[in-house]
Amino acid sequence: MKRILTYIFLISMLPLAGCKKFLEKPPDNRTEVTAPDQVTLLLTTAYPHANYILFCEAMSDNAEDKGGGGAGDPSDLINRQSYMFQDVQSKELDSPEAYWDSCYKAIAVANQALQIINDATDQNSFKAQRGEALVARAYAHFMLVTLFAKAYDPATASSDQGIPYVTTPETQVFAKYDRKTVAYVYDMIEKDLLDGIPLIDERIYGNAPKFHFTKRAAHAFASRFYLFKRNYPQVIAHAEQAFSGSAAENLRFWNTSYSDLQYFDLQAIYTKSSERANILLQEANSIWGRSYPLYRFGLGSDLLNELFLSQNVTGGAYAIRYNIYGSVQYYNIPKFYEHFVRAGINADIGDPYNTIPLLTAEEVLFNRSEAYARLKNYPAALADLNAWISKNIRAYNSAQHDLTAKKVVDYYKMPTDTMGALVRAGLDFKRVSFMHEGLRWFDILRLKIPIVHTTDDGLRIPLSANDFRRVLQIPQEASLSGIPLNPR
């Protein structure tokens, strides 16, 4: 196996907001990192700098076969094989293997930072750095176990295969790793998360806090983690600490300020650090931003009508529908702006980067709303859903558009299941909010939602609740190190 973990050291900061260019350096350079500010700089690479959206979006029910088109580059294979629920045969940018590698590189950096801290004479001066390293390590492992192992199920987690949870710097080129179980991985994530959060101090992040785990971002991540773990009181507790001010004021204003934005204005603002809804951002080496409107398998006319143009539970129109651009082959909401970093001053080649919103206020709100619903606190669940409605329905009128329990159960025809109807409403709003961002796939995994993909020539490809293909295959090179492949 090519090293699944490598020591990475930041050697330059590019003059782009949050865009960090890094290269691998020999292990001898480790001894140069000794001071707290140096560890802070090192930890800028303790986050995955690859993108999961391409394969997650194509696997979800947010994609349909548009019958033609494509980006005209190797990523078309990733788009097609993901839609077909096939193992992706690519190591290119935006592939599952690229994301696996990037996560373990991030983990390696976090572990190296923790070793430096443990070896320091004055460990108290590194508290904030320890906190960031622990939470970053937890996040990367969570993303891996979510995508490359079965979704957490309390009935089977103690026997379901997990992923290697690595807590020490790699010292062997071909190290052997044990997958353990999903339950074990979740226990380790929770330990790192809870140990790390109290130590975080965003004052060390300078003028780029949203590219690091602030306490707000750590609590936002915790709300996602506990939603997967089905610990709903903890979802609520952490969500409340992720908001600053009222929930509604943390959201994107799709029905007011966003409604006046033209294509390139919206593209520029959506992932800006100044956008209050963005809680954690990261730069990813990715071509997603330039290519997602072009892919054959994505947002087409059927999904446009189903999700954005048809009637919804509020009785109003989603404001975001007026920010959808393109034609049948190219429908898209402009959310991503590419930073292209040239290899040299006069070079025509270089690296594409996209800023990815990893955690947002909208997700935290939906996490909390679902948790309230599952705990049967229906007024609180409705309050959160109505907060989202107030910023997302065109010409919003609370008397006309706000939800009540009766309105929701009547719309979904679930008269005896208020909880289920409220959860479904939240999932519908969430699906609309995160089109082109890959998060729908996480709900499909978590809730075992069955889906069917259909090709232009009529082939139906079902994915049942327990289909093995829901779990991404372990990269072949990792399997050579003794990591068992996922069943097929």
User: How far is 130 from 142, CA to CA, in rounded Å?
Assistant: 18
Q: Inform me whether the pLDDT recorded for 21 exceeds 90.
A: no
pLDDT band at 174 (very low <50, low <70, confident <90, very high): low
**50 in Cβ contact with 99 (< 8 Å):** yes
The reported pLDDT for the residue numbered 481 is 83
The CB density around residue 206, as the number of other CB atoms within 10 Å, is: 11
User: How far is 474 from 325, CA to CA, in rounded Å?
Assistant: 37
Q: Inform me whether the pLDDT recorded for 17 exceeds 80.
A: no
Of 244 and 64, more confident: 64
Residue 327 corresponds to which tokens in the numbers above? 């034609």
CA torsion, points 327, 330, 335, 341, in degrees to nearest 10?
Answer: -130
Strand partners, 451: 463
Over residues 115-144, the mean pLDDT reads 98
φ, ψ for residue 355, nearest 5 deg? -85, 125
Indicate the CATH number for domain 8-479.
1.25.40.390
User: How far is 252 from 285, CA to CA, in rounded Å?
Assistant: 26
Strand partners, 398: none
Q: Inform me whether the pLDDT recorded for 250 exceeds 50.
A: yes
Q: Inform me whether the pLDDT recorded for 83 exceeds 90.
A: yes
Over residues 388-411, the mean pLDDT reads 99
The CB density around residue 245, as the number of other CB atoms within 10 Å, is: 8
What are the residues whose beta carbons fall under 8 Å from the beta carbon of 38, sequence distance 6 or more? 32
Q: Does the CA dihedral 337-342-346-349 come out positive or negative?
A: negative
User: How far is 411 from 305, CA to CA, in rounded Å?
Assistant: 18
User: How far is 256 from 396, CA to CA, in rounded Å?
Assistant: 10
pLDDT band at 163 (very low <50, low <70, confident <90, very high): very high
Q: Which is it for strands 338-342 and 8-10: parallel, antiparallel or unpaired? A: unpaired
The reported pLDDT for the residue numbered 176 is 78
Largest CA distance in the chain: 67
Over residues 72-79, the mean pLDDT reads 97
Over residues 215-227, the mean pLDDT reads 99
User: How far is 277 from 115, CA to CA, in rounded Å?
Assistant: 34
User: How far is 205 from 85, CA to CA, in rounded Å?
Assistant: 40
Alpha helices in 120-231 (DSSP H): 127-148, 182-196, 215-229
Q: Inform me whether the pLDDT recorded for 395 exceeds 70.
A: yes
In the chain, what percentage of residues exceed pLDDT 70? 93
φ, ψ for residue 352, nearest 5 deg? -85, 135
pLDDT band at 172 (very low <50, low <70, confident <90, very high): low
Over residues 98-107, the mean pLDDT reads 98
Secondary structure class of 311 (helix, strand, coil): coil
User: How far is 162 from 265, CA to CA, in rounded Å?
Assistant: 42
The predicted-structure confidence for 275-299, as pLDDT tens digits, reads as follows 999 999 999 999 999 999 999 999 9
The CB density around residue 349, as the number of other CB atoms within 10 Å, is: 8
User: How far is 263 from 323, CA to CA, in rounded Å?
Assistant: 8
The predicted-structure confidence for 295-331, as pLDDT tens digits, reads as follows 999 999 999 999 999 999 999 999 999 999 999 999 9
The position carrying tokens 């590194």 is 126
CA angle 191, 192, 196 (to 5 degrees): 115
Q: Inform me whether the pLDDT recorded for 77 exceeds 70.
A: yes
**156 in Cβ contact with 101 (< 8 Å):** no
Give me the chain's average pLDDT, please: 93
